[in-house]
Amino acid sequence: MERICLFPGTFDPVTQGHVDVIERSVHLFDKLIIGIGINSSKQPMFSVEQRTLWMNEIFHNDPRIVVSSYSGLTIDYCHAVGARFILRGIRYISDFEYEKAIADMNRMLAPDIETIFLTCSPLYSTISSTLVRDVIRNGGNASMFLPKEVKI
């Protein structure tokens, strides 16, 4: 059975931390789907199309990585694409507490799907999309937090 993993997120914008988690985890699976979640209650800074384009540019040389977008429950999307694993990046203890609650809920709803946590490399642990958006909104240079393909 093919080991398919979904790495869900808004990736608004994709950061060096996201890339780190993806590059360190992709060898664990036959296929890694970067799932750009569409949340109707959030107003993203960048369009789904732009975020998809960035991800495709960053990972265009790795056939194991697929980029897509989805809305609704993550576990429903996992079932739709045949993913048995959900990957979540953890920066701090507070991330773990939040992500563990979601993983527990997902496990109750879909016991066939495992959530895997991967800690972020220390170099990128302070980077979050929220902070990067704040830098961008205030006219700062966020390039050191972003992959070279993300030109803002």
Helix (H) or strand (E) holding 94: helix 93-109
**The tokens 């697929």 sit on which residue?**
66
Q: Assess whether 91 carries a catalytic annotation.
A: yes
By the 10 Å C-beta count (0-12 exposed, 13-18 middle, 19+ buried), 72 is classed as exposed
- Catalytic status, residue 128: no
Annotation says 100 is catalytic: no
**94 classed as catalytic:** no
Q: What is the DSSP letter of 39?
A: -
**117 by DSSP, 3-state: which?**
strand
Looking at 42, 94, 148, 151, which residue is catalytic?
A: 42
Strand partners for 9: 36
> Could you give the residue numbers annotated as active site?
18, 42, 91, 129
